[in-house]
C-alpha cells in the first residue's frame, strides 16, 4: 500500500462546461494555494487537459474544489497516473 504522503502525477481530460468559465485560471489559483505543480490548457475539442502533481489526497481535493466553482459543470473526467516530473509551480498553457 502506498503512503498517503507519496507524491504522484495525474493527467486529466475534463469535459462539460469547462471552457469560457475561468476553469484554467481557477485551476491555477487552487493549485498555487495548495502548493501543487503542473499545468492546464484548453483543447480544440472543448475539453481541458491538465497535469497535476501532489499527494493523492491533494489532487482529489483540487478536483473537488474545481467541480464546486460557479459556472463550471464537469460532465466527464478521464484520468491516469503518469511519471513524476521535476518542476516548480503550476502554469496555464495557451
Grid look-up 498555487 returns 32
**pTM, entire model:** 0.92
Alpha helices (runs of H) in the chain, residue ranges in sequence order: 23-34, 56-67
Question: Selecting from 3.30.70.100, 1.10.357.10, 1.10.1740.10, 3.40.710.10, what CATH number does the domain 7-92 have?
Answer: 3.30.70.100
What is residue 18's three-state secondary structure?
A: coil
Summarised one tens digit per residue, pLDDT across range 44-60 is 999 999 999 999 999 99
Confidence of residue 4 (pLDDT cuts 50, 70, 90): low
Pair type for strands 7-17 and 48-55: antiparallel
- Note if 17 is an active site residue: no
Measured distance CA(35)–CA(53) in Å, rounded = 9
Domain residue limits, the chain = 7-92
What is residue 70's three-state secondary structure?
A: coil
Catalytic residue among 17, 26, 41, 42: 42
Q: What is the pLDDT of residue 20?
A: 94
- Note if 24 is an active site residue: yes
Catalytic residue among 24, 41, 65, 80: 24
Measured distance CA(66)–CA(83) in Å, rounded = 23
What is residue 17's three-state secondary structure?
A: strand
Amino acid at each position: 500500500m502506498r503512503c498517503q504522503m507519496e507524491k504522484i502525477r495525474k493527467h486529466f481530460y475534463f469535459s462539460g462546461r469547462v471552457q469560457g468559465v475561468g476553469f484554467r485560471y481557477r485551476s491555477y489559483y487552487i493549485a498555487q494555494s495548495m502548493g501543487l505543480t503542473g499545468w492546464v490548457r484548453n483543447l480544440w475539442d472543448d475539453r481541458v487537459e491538465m497535469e497535476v502533481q501532489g499527494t493523492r489526497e491533494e489532487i482529489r481535493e483540487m478536483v473537488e474544489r474545481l467541480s464546486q466553482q460557479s459556472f463550471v459543470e464537469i460532465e466527464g473526467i478521464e484520468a491516469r497516473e503518469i511519471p513524476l516530473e521535476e518542476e516548480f509551480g503550476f502554469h496555464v498553457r495557451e
